[in-house]
C-alpha cells in the first residue's frame, strides 16, 4: 500500500510590493485591477495565507498544487515577489503551479511569459503546456488557462495547440497506469463561475477528458469550495475540486481561506481510494482547523 498526499491551495493574491503599479499602467487593464484591489485588499490578508502555509508544512505533503493568481497585476516586481514566496513554500520539485488570469493580466500571450516560474511549472526544459511531473505513481498534468483578456473579462483559454498536446499525453500508454491529476486555474465545469470568468474552450477540454479520462481535476479561480464532476470514458465521472482563496478572511461574498489535503491510497494495481480533508480558517476562532473530510467515489 502507498499513500501520496497532495496539498491544494489557490488564489493567494499576494500583496503587491512597492512599484507593482506605475504611471504607464494608467492606460492598461492594470488600472481596473488596481481599482478592484483597493476594494478587495482587506479581504486578502498575508497573515491568513501565512497561517495556511504553516498548517500545510505541518501536514508535510508529498506535493503542493497551487492553481494560480499569485499576483494581482502581473507586473515584473509582483512576479519576482511571487517567486520569492514560492521559494519559501518548499522545494520547487515538490510544488506545481498552474498560472491564473491575474498572472497573465497584460503582456505576452505565450508560455514564455512564465519563465521566471519555470522551476514550479513542471519537470524538464519544455516551455509549452501541458507540463508533466510523475511522482510515486501519480502523474501531475499542469495546464495553463491564463491569457490576457479585454477589460472586465477574466476568461481563460487553453488553445488548440495545448489541447492537442494534452490528448497525446493522455493517450500515451506509458501514463495509463498512473493516477492522473490535472491542474488548471479556470473551472472546467459549467456554472462554477459567470460567463465573463469562464474557460472559453471548456467543451474542447471536456471532450478530451471524456475520450481519454483522468482521475482528478483541481482548479481555483472561483474562490469557492466546489465539488463537481465531468464525464469520463464509458460513463465514468471524473471528480473536479476547487478551493477558496488561500488568503481570504471570509468577510465578503466568498468563504474564508481553505486548503485541501488530498490523500491518494493505492493498494495493488487497481485498488485506489482518494480522501479529501478540508482545512481552513475557522471564522469563530480565527485559527486554522479541520472543516470536514470525505472520500471520492
pTM of the model: 0.93
Does residue 50 or residue 253 have the better pLDDT? 50
Average pLDDT over residues 236-244: 97
Average pLDDT over residues 272-292: 93
Write the CATH number for 24: 3.60.21.10
**Cβ-contact 200, 159 below 8 angstroms:** no
Looking at the 3D structure of the chain, how many domains does it have? 1
With 70 as the cut, is the pLDDT of residue 38 above it?
A: no
Encode pLDDT of 12-21 as tens digits: 999 887 555 5
Long-range contacts, stretch 135-139, CB < 8 angstroms, 24+ apart: 135/4, 135/62, 135/63, 136/2, 136/4, 136/62, 137/2, 137/4, 137/178, 137/179, 137/266, 138/4, 138/6, 138/63, 138/178, 138/179, 138/180, 138/181, 138/264, 139/175, 139/178, 139/179, 139/180, 139/181
Matching residue, cell 465539488: 227
With 80 as the cut, is the pLDDT of residue 67 above it?
A: yes
Residue 82 vs residues 58, 76, 128, 183: alpha-carbon distances, Å? 22, 10, 21, 19
The grid cell for 276 is 479529501
What is the per-residue pLDDT for 18?
Answer: 59
End-to-end CA distance of the chain: 19
Please tell me whether residue 219 adopts helix, strand or coil conformation. Answer: strand
User: Residue 95 and residue 62: Cα distance in Å, rounded?
Assistant: 9
With 90 as the cut, is the pLDDT of residue 189 above it?
A: yes
The grid cell for 146 is 491564463
What is the per-residue pLDDT for 27?
Answer: 41
Q: Highest-confidence range of 101-115, 149-163, 191-205, by mean pLDDT?
A: 191-205
Closest by CA position to 178, among listed 169, 166, 186? 169
Strands 226-231 and 237-242: antiparallel
Residue 26 belongs to domain spanning: 2-296
With 90 as the cut, is the pLDDT of residue 142 above it?
A: yes
pLDDT grade for 202, boundaries at 50, 70 and 90: very high
User: Residue 92 and residue 122: Cα distance in Å, rounded?
Assistant: 9
Encode pLDDT of 43-60 as tens digits: 889 999 999 999 999 999
What is the per-residue pLDDT for 252?
Answer: 78
Percent of the chain's residues with pLDDT above 70 = 89
What is the per-residue pLDDT for 113?
Answer: 83
pLDDT grade for 93, boundaries at 50, 70 and 90: very high
HEC secondary structure over 33-81: HHHHHHHHCCCECHHHHHHHHHHHHHHCCCEEEECCCCCCCCCHHHHHH
Name beta bridge partners: 138.
135, 179
Amino acid at each position: 500500500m502507498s499513500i501520496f498526499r497532495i496539498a491544494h491551495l489557490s488564489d493567494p493574491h499576494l500583496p503587491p510590493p512597492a512599484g507593482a503599479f506605475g504611471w504607464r499602467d494608467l492606460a492598461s487593464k492594470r488600472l481596473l485591477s488596481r481599482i478592484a484591489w483597493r476594494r478587495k485588499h482587506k479581504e486578502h490578508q498575508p497573515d491568513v495565507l501565512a497561517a495556511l502555509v504553516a498548517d500545510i508544512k505541518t501536514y508535510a505533503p508529498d506535493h503542493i498544487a497551487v492553481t494560480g493568481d499569485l499576483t494581482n497585476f502581473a507586473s515584473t516586481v509582483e512576479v519576482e515577489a511571487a517567486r520569492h514566496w514560492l521559494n519559501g513554500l518548499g522545494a520547487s520539485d515538490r510544488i506545481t503551479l498552474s498560472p491564473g488570469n491575474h498572472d497573465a493580466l497584460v503582456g505576452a500571450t505565450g508560455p514564455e511569459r512564465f519563465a521566471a516560474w519555470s522551476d514550479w511549472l513542471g519537470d524538464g526544459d519544455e516551455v509549452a503546456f501541458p507540463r508533466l511531473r510523475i511522482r510515486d505513481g501519480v502523474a501531475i498534468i499542469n495546464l495553463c488557462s491564463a491569457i490576457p483578456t479585454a477589460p472586465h473579462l477574466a476568461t481563460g483559454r487553453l488553445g488548440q495547440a495545448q489541447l492537442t498536446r494534452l490528448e497525446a499525453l493522455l493517450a500515451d500508454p506509458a501514463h495509463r497506469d498512473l493516477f492522473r491529476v490535472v491542474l488548471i486555474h479556470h473551472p472546467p465545469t459549467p456554472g462554477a463561475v459567470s460567463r465573463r470568468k469562464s474557460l472559453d474552450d471548456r467543451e474542447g477540454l471536456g471532450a478530451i477528458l471524456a475520450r481519454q479520462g483522468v482521475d482528478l481535476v483541481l482548479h481555483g479561480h472561483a474562490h469557492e469550495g466546489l465539488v463537481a464532476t465531468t464525464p469520463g470514458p464509458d460513463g465514468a465521472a471524473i471528480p473536479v475540486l476547487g478551493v477558496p482563496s488561500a488568503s481570504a478572511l471570509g468577510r465578503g461574498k466568498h468563504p474564508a481561506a481553505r486548503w485541501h489535503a488530498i490523500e491518494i491510497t493505492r493498494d495493488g494495481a487497481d485498488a485506489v481510494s482518494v480522501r479529501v480533508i478540508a482545512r481552513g480558517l475557522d471564522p469563530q476562532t480565527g485559527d486554522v482547523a479541520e472543516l470536514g473530510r470525505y472520500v471520492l467515489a
